[in-house]
Amino acid sequence: MWNRNFIMVVVGQIISLFGNAILRFALPLYLLNETESAALFGVVTACAFIPMIVLAPIGGILADRVNKRNIMVVLDFSTAILVMAIILLLGKINLVALLLCALFILYGINGAYQPAVQASIPILLSGENIMQGNSVINLVSSFAGLIGPVIGGALFGFYGIMPILYVSIFCFLISAIMEIFIQIPFQRKPAGGSIFAIGFGDLKESFRYMYREQPVIMQFSLAVAAINMILSSLVIIGLPVIITQMLDFDSETANRFYGYAESVFAMGSLCGGMGAGLFAQKIKARNGYLLLLYDALTLIPTGIAIMITMKTMISYIIILVSCFFMAFLSNLFSIQIMSYLQMIVPVDLIGKVISCAMCIGMCASPIGQAMYGGLFEVFGERIFALFFAAALLMVILAVSMKRAFQRLEKLLDLNRYVEI
């Protein structure tokens, strides 16, 4: 599995994702601190997801038709230029407009970037190594998410936003330069028409495959969309609001403690990725619904910690423990699903189909984030009810997906038989 090119992809991801992690941590937090508005925070964060959703299918089309290495190099250089522009414009134009535009472009770049990485894995690896390769990529992402908020929280708490911007520029430039030397096998496809005709044809082919030939992919894409709207959006909006505004911390301490919480969440993802890699052969597809069920239960302790009056640090620790297990189970589930999709989708369609599946999965995130941003202000001190309601909805979703996981396992068994 550890060939030269895969190692370079992994190293490039470590550097690039670290810069991305501290940037995506700091910019929304800076907005929340400056405006103190959960609703505005939720709307801006939600809107930032829109270009990611729109550009993910385009990134998938490019991943199948353009050298994947070139996509990574160009997008990392572009992100470095974006951060330079933020530095030049900060304080000179409206803050909300600047950060909204910056997050728009940042998330859009990420939406186009990830299909190239995901489509590279089945090319650089094969067979049983695919799930382990996905596990490694997810471990890298989780590790970046682990140290990024810790360093970002410390830098932000003591020195403000500027050091974070300079560090992220350095990361993106180094990653782009290193990725130039990656070699990913690529065979150019015939154009067959204008760029719009090609794009429309590829999207039509992807959705036809998902809807008619492998409807289980569409079903799981819709399930991931529901998870993002119910669970992920609640955490993205709820965690900074609870720690920086509801718990009894001063401003500087709250920013640092929010960084620690994000790092604990990343540590849970890291452990989930390790678990997926270590137990790749022991994880059964038919039991995937149990991961969703257990994930739902992790919301309950946080709801209790907010509902019952207790010492601030005790509430904070309960939230940290809940975040760890939530991230552990969520990442284990996401690696499992992504690996299964890569196993059943033909190589010549994998970039387009996976990007379309990612697009469907992400499309509910802006809705959920905008919804929770408003609900947090409406519910005020009673936001614990939102956590209990989300837990109930996740339980219902998990139970309803049991048969889908059973059908997925039969499909995987059939594919293994065909390969043999």
Q: What is the mean pLDDT of each run of 10 residues along the chain (420 residues)?
A: 79 83 80 75 73 74 78 90 89 82 84 78 72 73 70 74 87 90 73 59 74 79 86 84 80 77 79 72 74 89 86 88 88 78 71 74 79 81 87 90 81 56
pLDDT computed for residue 269 by the predictor: 76
User: Cβ of 286: how many Cβ atoms within 10 Å?
Assistant: 16
pLDDT at 123: 77
Instruction: Round to whole Å and give the CA distance between 232 and 365.
Output: 8
The domain spans of the chain are 4-180+194-419
How far is CA 2 from each of CA 14, 38, 133, 184, 417, rounded to the nearest angstrom? Answer: 16, 45, 9, 14, 27
**Cα–Cα distance for residue pair 20/11, rounded to 1 Å:** 14
User: Which CATH superfamily groups domain 4-180+194-419?
Assistant: MFS general substrate transporter like domains (1.20.1250.20)
**Cβ(363)–Cβ(308) below 8 Å:** no
Cα separation, 315 vs 304, in Å, equals: 9
Q: Report pTM.
A: 0.64
- What pLDDT sits at residue 392? 93
List of residues 6+ apart from 6 with CB closer than 8 A = 124, 125, 133
Judge whether 118 and 203 are in contact, CB under 8 Å: no
